Structure 1
């Protein structure tokens, strides 16, 4: 069997959307032409997303961090990613369906899960998908390494800048996000 890629997908994107609507205990994504399974988040994962959501609300009240908003990603919109958070102006996704264009999204957030696919999914495929749609900032909260990795300056499907900060550091998210995070609280969510 030939491996699936964006050029030769495992299935048509419409078939993926039908399957994704029926999933209950997992979240489904369509990355690089393959069906991906994302586990339902654990409590610490959810606490990290909520912590960041509150930080965004405090520092940029005109923006919202939309949890689990489906985004069209990758070349020719053939990818479907469900970031842990998509930072965009308030009401940005009103009138959009389950899978919205990434246009206007300022930042995506992923918090790593404790599963075998998180390395490929969060650290490679989603990063490249977000860069490919020119999302200005990708914030990866890497629970395994206890770091925040800030990717920015998308160009040609890749992020040109990558800065890594340990939990507890002051992290300045670049333009257009413009939020400074005091990350000491993240240590409370480490197991």
Structure 2
């Protein structure tokens, strides 16, 4: 049997998009590395973390917004489809876009880990690699299992060349094109 890969997927991206469009409201689908993945529905702490980050972005940037669950075309040749927990982009950037947008003009994507068995592979490996391959400048991972905040930046040849990781409670620099220092003390409120 031929293994599933981005080059040899079981279904084509157009078929995936139709499947995702008709999925029940409480199911979020992604297409990463040639396979369909079900994205867990966020719990309350997950939602609060995203809300916290949205508020920080509004305070810091008058011309940027952190969009939630925005469908993005990722991976080489845009064959993957992901729904990051947050997408930092210029205000009104997605006006006129369909369900899936090219990553051009996006400054940062954000993922908050979920407490499920697929988190390690999905958020820490596959999505990271897909976002790097798409050339998204910054990938911010808020890792609830490890109580860390990780900034991946400088995408080159399908990989992020720079990685900075700090425990909850420590500040972390998010480099340009975002260019802010993130105070993470409030994340301690959401540590299990």
What interval of TM-score do these two structures reach, taking the shorter chain for normalisation? Answer: over 0.9
Structure 1 residue aligned with 2:34: 33
Pairing 1:48–2:37 present = no
CA distance in 2, matches of 1:22, 1:148: 34
TM normalised by structure 1 equals 0.98
Structure 2 residue aligned with 1:21: 21
SS in structure 2 of the partner of residue 55 of structure 1:
helix
When structure 1 is superposed on structure 2, of 139-148 and 8-17 the one drifting more is: 8-17
Is there any run of 5+ residues in structure 1 with no aligned partner, and where? none
Q: What is the deviation of 1:190?
A: 1.4
SS in structure 1 of the partner of residue 188 of structure 2:
helix
Q: Is the CA contact (8 Å cut-off) linking 1:60 and 1:179 kept in structure 2?
A: no
Query: Structure 1 residue runs of 4+, over 6 Å off?
Result: none
Structure 2 residue aligned with 1:127: 128
TM normalised by structure 2 equals 0.97
**Cα deviation per residue 1:117-160 (whole Å; 9 max; x = unaligned)?**
11111000100010001111000000000000000000000000
Q: Is the CA contact (8 Å cut-off) linking 1:25 and 1:39 kept in structure 2?
A: no
What does 1:92-111 align with in structure 2 at a 5 Å threshold? 92-111=93-112
Pairing 1:58–2:59 present = yes
Is there any run of 5+ residues in structure 2 with no aligned partner, and where? none
Q: What's the Cα RMSD here?
A: 0.8
